[in-house]
Structure 1
């Protein structure tokens, strides 16, 4: 196992359990305790965990795994969700994409839709995510608008008043939200309040709002509220979602698509 793969596995275990002991992690990953100690020390230097005597803990309840370590989690579900979301977009529309692994897959699914480049005007994509803008900028069939702002290392998203200034001047046909949690009573949420504020602005500027979230995000709350459930038109999720959860969202007026 490479160091990057080992770090990814360690961080995922840590997010899941909240605490890891050296011996426990070594047994899980089939490596030596000395290797895990070095990994914990190096990850602590990057402020990605807190070192303890004999192990490590996450930073707190709002701990967020950096985007580069989340790309492989539930990958097949995210790709199916992304394809379904991309099918909701019509040629010539203006689409807002927040940051996140699922919305990054949505950008890739839009990129391979051959019909989106045939109309006039071109499909417009507005995003505050640097990685999404980077992937789509080479696609001549798209008009890419980047919000500006200060880059946030965990998610590659631009935040702050510079982003506010751009979003206040535009209108969107659809905003696609990646979320940390989406709960019927508490709405869509993110870890970071500045990130949530930009995502909220995208929703306010859009004719319709689509939440793209795998089933593990549903029924969960997070620190920073993006918007209430009443502002969401469509939820696209995977087929593992609990049917009672689907019923509750539908009763709240959200169309639920499962893939």
Structure 2
């Protein structure tokens, strides 16, 4: 049973306590706050609306969370400049997973482009990629057999999407898939901002034996428009130390190998 606050709180005190609870728990609910502060649900909703207008939280379905979970599309040139140090460490760790005679898929996104830059010569390595930038980077290494996936070019990510690529994937089998995503949500799973890219990623998952997600910690708690798969479909996530303990532990409980760099 929730213990009610004995003294009547003014709006400033309520807002401070709401933000404190949000930081501690990761979310707050309208009903719980109403009971604890002994005020009406309408009052709490007004409080949350004011805090949202100040961009201190995000309201969603009778609750509030620290930030907007929905991602928006940005050009690859912009995304490459975000969390560069974290992506660099993730890329180095991803490179260590490669083994002789691996046949791998490298999807699209800035994390996997950075991974391509850190791939060292591995005997018999074959790479199929949807990313135009990745293909150009790897083409400079004569020890790697590089295949460019076909399809319609998506200019914002410099990658291909569409049914041509999906049909091409059905003709091969791969040891590993290195997947970049726009969002990782414990309930919604993996997602991206483009539905056609999500569809292509689903076919990549079907074609690969091991699914490795490369994502910096800013991607957790986020959702993109197109759902790729549930968390139960992936084997490993390589991320940075910004991931919170609750999320990390839940991923491990599911059976995912979480590598933190």
Do the two structures share a fold, i.e. TM-score over 0.5?
yes
Question: Contact between 1:184 and 1:252, CA under 8 Å: does it hold in 2?
Answer: no
Instruction: Return the TM-score normalized by structure 1.
Output: 0.72
Displacement of 1:239: 1.0
Instruction: Return the TM-score normalized by structure 2.
Output: 0.72
1:98-109 alignment, distance < 5 Å:
98-109=107-118
Count of aligned pairs = 193
Runs of 4+ in 1 over 2 A off after TM superposition: none
Displacement of 1:63: 2.9
Using the alignment, how far apart are the partners of 1:197 and 1:159 within structure 2?
8
Question: Contact between 1:157 and 1:195, CA under 8 Å: does it hold in 2?
Answer: no
Using the alignment, how far apart are the partners of 1:80 and 1:144 within structure 2?
24
Partner of 1:69: 78
For structure 2, the 5+ residue unaligned runs are 1-69
1:84-123 alignment, distance < 5 Å:
84-110=93-119, 113-114=120-121, 116=122, 119=123, 122-123=124-125
For structure 1, the 5+ residue unaligned runs are 1-60
1:135-174 alignment, distance < 5 Å:
135-174=137-176
**CA deviations over 1:147-197 (Å, ceiling 9, x no partner):** 100100110111111111210101010001100001222111100000111
Using the alignment, how far apart are the partners of 2:170 and 2:258 within structure 1?
29
Using the alignment, how far apart are the partners of 1:62 and 1:233 within structure 2?
24
SS class of match (2:118): helix
SS class of match (1:125): strand
Tell me how large the CA RMSD over aligned residues is.
Answer: 1.4
**CA deviations over 1:81-116 (Å, ceiling 9, x no partner):** 011111111121011111111000111111xx24x1
